[in-house]
Amino acid sequence: MSDISRRKLITTGLAAAASVTGLGAAARIAQKCGLVPPDHGGLFGLGETLTYASHRLLTKHSLAREFSRSQISKPPFPNEIPPLNDEFKRLQAGGFADWRLTIDGMVARPASFSLDQLKSYPSQSQITMLQCEEGWSYVAEWIGVPLSHVLDVVGVLPQARYVVYFSIDPEWWESIDMADASHPQTFLAYGMNGDVLPVGNGGPLRIRLPRQLGYKSVKFITRLTVTDSLKGLGKGLGSANADAGYAWYAGI
Amino acid sequence: MGFRVPLHKFPRSTSAFAILAPRDTIPGVSESACAPSSVSAVPAMTVTSRHSALVRVTHWITTLCFLALLVSGVEILISHPRFYWGETGNVLTPPLFKLPIPSSRALVPTGYGYVLPDQNGWSRYLHFQAAWVVVLTGLLYIISSFFTGHLRRNLLPGKGDLSWRAFSNSMVSHLRLQRPSAAEAWSYNLLQRLSYLFVIFVLFPLVIWTGLAMSLAFVSAFPATVTLLGGQQSARTIHFFVSLALVIFLLVHVVMVSLAGFRSRMRAMITGRAGKD
């Protein structure tokens, strides 16, 4: 072995070792800074992590575009909804007077709210776009209470990392990180275009995240869980959609 | 262009990345005869390589990513094969146009009596992963092209070549489907240069821009990227047409390669060696 090739071998070896160590360190730092999505494993984990990490760095505090009242789509498109179960029909028959939103997990004061209680909090509205991963979209005025307001009422513990939310259909659940949970445009929406939120659009209560695709804005919300880990929920990928093969982060 | 550097001036250490044969290298001269005797220990083929290793590697990564983007893009498209102009659009609003194909969603009125299986989960994952890889690869290619002279030497047309006469000559020989001259085995012709520049500096940036402009989170931070295009649905429609233009480029590219000699051109892009079959 000549000197040159030995030197080359040593430098290449050192460079490779340094890269592996560097990547390992970068992965640990990224994990610590909340830049790694729960579906980071597998074949598409690299792309998903790059997307989520870059969006967290670039868009942590940015506000979704708001539109003028004249840009509201008429009529707002109600997408297909899963078959409503008996529990939903019973609550619907009672005018949703008994609809409850329970909040548990890593909170100081677990609680259960009626729709009237939620409506007693300062109401806000946003005229934002709902965009489906399929390609269609519409603009509507969404009326509700910011999720952060309700989370403040129950007192989120400092170790919390995710808010998991469940539809009345137990098969339908999603989760978001604390950056999205505390974002000012993340709403618990109960109204649309100056009226109550129609059942077809997720009434009586829908979570609304205008910076992510429609499938994150789960309809018929009945429960929130604040947690520091998504392991143990389904396949541990963070949502029913992720378990079904869709990206957990849906900002694109 | 007047560019001519004696081959032995290229430092050995950069040969893999930086060296492309000067476009006026005399074809037909055997490779070993070109190699100066002082560096005869170096395999001659790397010295007279038709395409540098960087060009070859980025070319094939881009090819793989483009095919992945195409397949996944088609899968995503068939979940809503309708196009709109402006900010919003759905099945309740009149489309700009719709594709006469079945859909993977029951709610889209297509005229077909059946619904295709939903493939959007993996398609969206694959689309964005391939997009990341191709954008990073493209950046590496463009930045290194500036520094190695690949851009100036091999892509920008020479001063004397940029005339209507040269352009029409090149156009006529392409339209007649003439086999390129032997000299063209060593350099890109004018029309080829202009097409590559158009793809690299117009179509690719446009397809990336319109792709990003469809992202709700991205436009929340950079709203001008979507308003300049006329809205989110406009961005989607432009994304479709630019992708179509890229597919047409791919088809013409493959036809031209076949016409020039598929085996030799493929060998040049895989191993770097040029010459006859």
**Same domain, residue pair B33 and B75:** no
**Same domain, residue pair B5 and B106:** no
Domain assignment of residue B275, yes or no: no
Amino acid present at A44: F
d(CA B167, CA B232): 38
Q: Does B79 touch chain A (CB under 8 A)?
A: yes
- CA B221 to chain A, closest CA, distance in angstroms equals 5
Question: Residue B25: its pLDDT value, please?
Answer: 40
- Mean pLDDT over A238-247 rounds to 95
- Mean pLDDT over A111-117 rounds to 97
Question: Residue A4: its pLDDT value, please?
Answer: 61
Q: Does B56 touch chain A (CB under 8 A)?
A: no
- Mean pLDDT over B127-149 rounds to 96
**Same domain, residue pair B110 and B201:** yes
Question: Residue B22: its pLDDT value, please?
Answer: 41
**Same domain, residue pair B93 and B8:** no
How many domains, chain B?
2
In this predicted structure, which of A50-59, A179-188, B32-41, B148-157 has the lowest mean pLDDT? B32-41
pTM: 0.86
Beta bridge partners of A191: A143, A196
- State yes or no: pLDDT of A185 exceeds 60: yes
The CB-side HSE value for B200 (13 A sphere, CA atoms) comes to 19
Among all residues of chain B, which has the CA nearest to that of A138? B88
**Same domain, residue pair B65 and B172:** yes
Chain-chain contact of B88 with A48 (C-beta, under 8 angstroms): no
Q: How confident is the model at residue B28 (pLDDT cuts 50, 70, 90)?
A: very low
- Among residues of chain B, what percentage have pLDDT more than 90? 59
Domain assignment of residue B139, yes or no: yes
Domain assignment of residue B276, yes or no: no
Angle (CA) B132-B134-B137 rounded to 5° is: 105
Domain assignment of residue B277, yes or no: no
Contacts of B52 (CB under 8 A, 6+ apart): B16, B17, B18, B19, B20, B148, B150, B272
Q: Does B226 touch chain A (CB under 8 A)?
A: yes
Q: Does B131 touch chain A (CB under 8 A)?
A: yes
- State yes or no: pLDDT of B48 exceeds 90: no
Q: How confident is the model at residue B18 (pLDDT cuts 50, 70, 90)?
A: very low
- Among residues of chain A, what percentage have pLDDT more than 70? 98
pLDDT in tens, B197-227: 999 999 999 999 999 999 999 999 999 999 9
- State yes or no: pLDDT of B58 exceeds 60: yes
Question: For residue B244, what is the domain's CATH number?
Answer: 1.20.950.20
d(CA A235, CA B159): 62
Q: Are strands A221-227 and A100-105 parallel, antiparallel or unpaired?
A: parallel
> By the 8 A CB rule, do A64 and B226 touch?
no
DSSP H/E element including A101: strand A100-105
**Same domain, residue pair B238 and B121:** yes
**Same domain, residue pair B43 and B54:** no
User: Which domain does B59 fall in, by range?
Assistant: 48-270
Q: Which residues of chain B does A137 touch, with a Cβ-Cβ cutoff of 8 Å?
A: 87-90, 232-233
The residues on A that touch B, with CB distances below 8 Å, are 43-44, 46-48, 50-51, 55, 58-59, 62-65, 67, 71, 73, 75, 77, 79-80, 129, 131-139, 210-213, 244-247, 251-252
Domain assignment of residue B28, yes or no: yes
Reduced to 3 states (helix: H, G, I; strand: E, B; else coil), residue B20 is coil
**Same domain, residue pair B41 and B146:** no
Domain assignment of residue B69, yes or no: yes
Question: Residue A80: its pLDDT value, please?
Answer: 78
pLDDT in tens, B149-158: 999 888 898 8
- State yes or no: pLDDT of A176 exceeds 90: yes
- CA B148 to chain A, closest CA, distance in angstroms equals 23
Tell me how many helices (H) and strands (E) chain B has: 12, 2
Nearest by Cα to A221 from A212, A208, A234: A208
pLDDT in tens, A2-61: 556 777 788 888 888 888 888 888 888 888 888 999 999 989 999 999 999 999 999 989
Question: Residue B233: its pLDDT value, please?
Answer: 98
**Same domain, residue pair B38 and B81:** no
Eight-state DSSP code of residue B14 = G
**Same domain, residue pair B16 and B141:** no
pLDDT in tens, B165-197: 888 888 888 888 877 777 777 788 888 899 999
- CA B145 to chain A, closest CA, distance in angstroms equals 24
Chain-chain contact of A138 with B128 (C-beta, under 8 angstroms): no
d(CA A160, CA A162): 6
Chain-chain contact of B126 with A44 (C-beta, under 8 angstroms): yes
Domain assignment of residue B125, yes or no: yes
**Same domain, residue pair B9 and B94:** no
Mean pLDDT for chain B? 83
Domain assignment of residue B265, yes or no: yes
Ordered domains of chain A (ranges, CATH): 65-243 (3.90.420.10)
**Same domain, residue pair B235 and B177:** yes
Question: Residue A3: its pLDDT value, please?
Answer: 57
- Mean pLDDT over A187-205 rounds to 95
